[in-house]
């Protein structure tokens, strides 16, 4: 049911863990319905230099979290804000339809992290 790429990101997730000195943190989801994602970003001169994640959830939730960290790293904030759920799913060679809504939250979490960063750093 999962693509090889999903399984790879799920079994060998990239950039896992808590970032203690993050410039922005975004959290989405709700453990009651199965998924909770936390994305941490480090920003220098408007560029996302590091991204990390922590996720409680199914295989798709973990794989999409891992994928967004790779997609966002090195991008400007404006570029990163354009990343969508569909981009993440596409980069993973697709997700089972049932997982598209419930577990594909990482683009939202990234956006929340950027909003958090902007709130802490007005004008950037």
Partner 1 sequence: MKRIYMDHSGTTPIDPRVLEAMMPFLTEKFANPSSIYTEGREVRASLDQARVQVAKALNADAGEITFTSGGTESDNLGIKGIALGRKEKGGHIITTTIEHHAVTHTVDYLGENGFDISFLPVNKYGQVELETLENEIRDDTFLLSLVYGNNEIGTIQDMRDIVKLAHKHDVLVHTDAVQAVAKIPIDVKDLGVDLLSLSGHKIYGPKGIGALYARKGLRLAAVQHGGGHEKNLRSGTENVAGVIGLGKAMEIGEIGLTTEIPRVKAMRDRLVKCILSELEDSYLNGHPEKRLPHNAHFRFSYIEGEALLLNLDMMGIVASTGSACSSKSLKASHVLLAIGLTPEQAHGSLRLTLGKGNTDEEIDTVLEAVPKVVKKLRAMSPLGHGGGK
Answer for which of 14, 42, 54, 118 binds partner 1 (CB under 8 A) is 54
Helix, strand, or coil (residue 50): strand
58 is a catalytic site residue: no
Catalytic residue among 33, 34, 93, 121: 33
- For the chain, the C-alpha Rg in angstroms (whole number) is 13
The C-alpha atoms of residue 27 and residue 33 are separated, in whole angstroms, by 14
Query: Is 33 a catalytic site residue?
Result: yes
Nearer residue to partner 1 within complex by CB, 56 or 121? 56
State the nearest-atom distance from the C-beta of 78 to partner 1, in Å. 27
Half-sphere exposure of 88 toward its Cβ, with a 13 Å CA cutoff?
A: 31
Using CB atoms within 10 A of its CB, is residue 91 exposed (0-12), middle (13-18) or buried (19+)?
Answer: middle
Of 53 and 117, which has the nearer Cβ to partner 1?
A: 53
Cβ atoms of 22 and 40 within 8 Å: the answer is: yes
Question: Least Å distance between CB 62 and partner 1?
Answer: 6
Rule CB under 8 A: say whether 27 interacts with partner 1.
yes
Of residues 9, 19, 22, 38, which one binds partner 1 by CB under 8 A? 38
Helix 4-11 × helix 59-72 angle, to 10°:
90
* Active-site annotation, residues: 33, 102
Residues that bind partner 1 (CB under 8 A): 2, 7, 10-11, 13, 16-18, 27, 31-38, 54-59, 61-62, 98, 102-103
């Amino acid at each position: 049911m999962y693509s090889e790429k999903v399984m790879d990101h799920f079994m060998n997730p990239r950039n896992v863990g808590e970032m203690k000195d993050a410039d922005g943190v975004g959290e989405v989801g709700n453990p009651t319905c199965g998924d909770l994602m936390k994305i941490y970003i480090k920003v220098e001169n408007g560029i996302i230099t590091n991204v990390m994640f922590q996720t409680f959830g199914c295989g798709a939730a973990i794989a999409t979290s891992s994928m967004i960290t790779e997609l966002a790293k090195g991008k400007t904030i404006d570029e990163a804000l354009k990343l969508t759920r569909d981009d993440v799913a596409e980069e993973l060679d697709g997700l089972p339809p049932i997982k598209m809504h419930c577990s594909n939250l990482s683009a939202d979490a990234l956006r929340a992290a950027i909003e958090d960063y902007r709130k802490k750093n007005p004008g950037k």
